[in-house]
Chain A
Amino acid sequence: MDELTNISQITYQLFGYDLVFNVETIMMTLIVMGLLLVFSFFATRKIYIIPHSVQVVAELLVNLFWDLTKDTLDEEMAKKYFPLIFSVFLFVVCSNWLGIIPKLGEPTKDLNTPLGLGLLGFVIAHYSGIKAKGIGGYLKEYCEPIFFMVPLNIIGELAKVVSISFRLYGNIMGGAIIILVVSNLVYSFVLPPVLVMFFGLFVGSIQAFVFTMLTLVYISLQVK
C-alpha cells in the first residue's frame, strides 16, 4: 500500500520559497508528449488522398472533433479553437491510457495535471470572453439576472473549474486505488487485467471525452 503515499519529489530553494517537483508525474508527462509527437509525425509524413495506416486513425479523430466543435461554435470561431480542443483530448486520452503499460503510471493520477488542464481551459475561456465582449460586457454578465447574484456567479465560475478537474482526477486516481487494493486482496491472473481494461481504457476514454466536451462548452458559453 506504500505506492499511494510515497511520492518521489525533488525540492529546490528559490528566493526563500520551496519549489517541489513530482518526479514521476513529470517523467510520465514527457513520455506522453513523446508518444503524441511520434504519432503526429507518422500521421502527417506523407499525406495520401486515400489515407493509409496511421493517417486513417488521425483523420477519424479529427473529423469527429471537427463536427463537435462546428456544432457548438460558429465556423470561424471553430477554426480558431479546434486545435486547442483536439490537443487537450489527445493529451488526456493518452495520459489515461498510459496506465495500461506495466511500470508506467498515468500523469493524471496526480492532482496537478487535471487542475492545470482545467485552469488552462478556464483562463482561455475567460480571456476569449473579454476579447469578444469587451471588459464592460464581460463584467455585466456577472450581474445577471440581479445585482445580488454577483458572488454566486463568481462561485459558480470557480466551481466549474473545480468540478471538471476533480472529476478527471477522481475517476483516474480512483481506478488506480481500486486496482491496487483488489490486487493486494485477491491472488488472481484474470481479475487485475480486467479491472485495468475497464478503468484504464473505458473510463479513461469517456472521462477524456467529457473533459474535452465541457471545456468546449465553457468556451462557447463565454464567446457567444
Chain B
Amino acid sequence: MEIGGADFIRGLALLGAGLAMGLGAIGPGVGEGFAAGKACEAIGRKPEEAGLLTRTMLVGQAVSESTGIYALVIALLLLYVV
C-alpha cells in the first residue's frame, strides 16, 4: 500500500478529529449529568424554588460544556480546514 505524504497527513488528521471529539465528550457528559442530578435533589427538597434552581443548573451546565465545545471546534477544524 503506497501512502503518499499528503494522504498520510489527511488520514491522521481525520483520525485525530475522531479522537478529539470522542474523548472530549466524556468529561462534560459526566459533569453535566451530575449537575442535573444535584439540581433534581435540590428541587425535591424545595419545589417552590424550581425556577431559580433550574436556571442555575442550565448556566452551570453551559459553562461545563465549554471544553466539549473546544473539542468540537478542533474536530471541525481538522475535518474542514487542515
A interface residues with partner B (beta carbon < 8 Å): 67-68, 71, 159, 162-164, 166-167, 170, 206, 209-210, 213-214, 217
Known A-B contacts A210-B62, A213-B62, A214-B62; the reply to A163 vs B55 at CB < 8 A is: no
Q: Does B58 contact A (CB under 8 A)?
A: yes
Q: Which residues in B have their C-beta under 8 angstroms from that of A217? A: 59
Q: Does B72 contact A (CB under 8 A)?
A: yes
Q: Is the CB of B66 within 8 A of A170?
A: no
Q: Which residues in B have their C-beta under 8 angstroms from that of A214? A: 59, 62
Q: Is the CB of A162 within 8 A of B73?
A: yes
Give chain A's interface secondary structure class: helix
Q: How far is the CB of A86 from chain B (nearest CB, A)?
A: 16
User: Which chain A residue shows the least CB distance to B73?
Assistant: A166
- Contact among A67, A159, A209, A210 for B66, CB-based, below 8 A: A159
Q: Is the CB of A162 within 8 A of B69?
A: yes
A-B contact pairs, 26 of them (CB 8 A): A67-B51, A71-B52, A159-B70, A162-B69, A162-B70, A162-B73, A163-B65, A163-B66, A163-B70, A166-B69, A166-B73, A167-B62, A167-B65, A167-B69, A170-B69, A206-B58, A209-B58, A210-B58, A210-B59, A210-B61, A210-B62, A213-B55, A213-B58, A213-B59, A214-B59, A217-B59
In B28-61, the 8 Å CB interface with A consists of 51-52, 55, 58-59, 61
- Considering the chains assembled together, what is the distance between the CA atoms of A68 and B59 in angstroms? 12
Q: Which residues in A have their C-beta under 8 angstroms from that of B69? A: 162-163, 166-167, 170
User: Which chain A residue shows the least CB distance to B65?
Assistant: A167
Q: Is the CB of A170 within 8 A of B72?
A: yes
- Considering the chains assembled together, what is the distance between the CA atoms of A77 and B64 in angstroms? 28
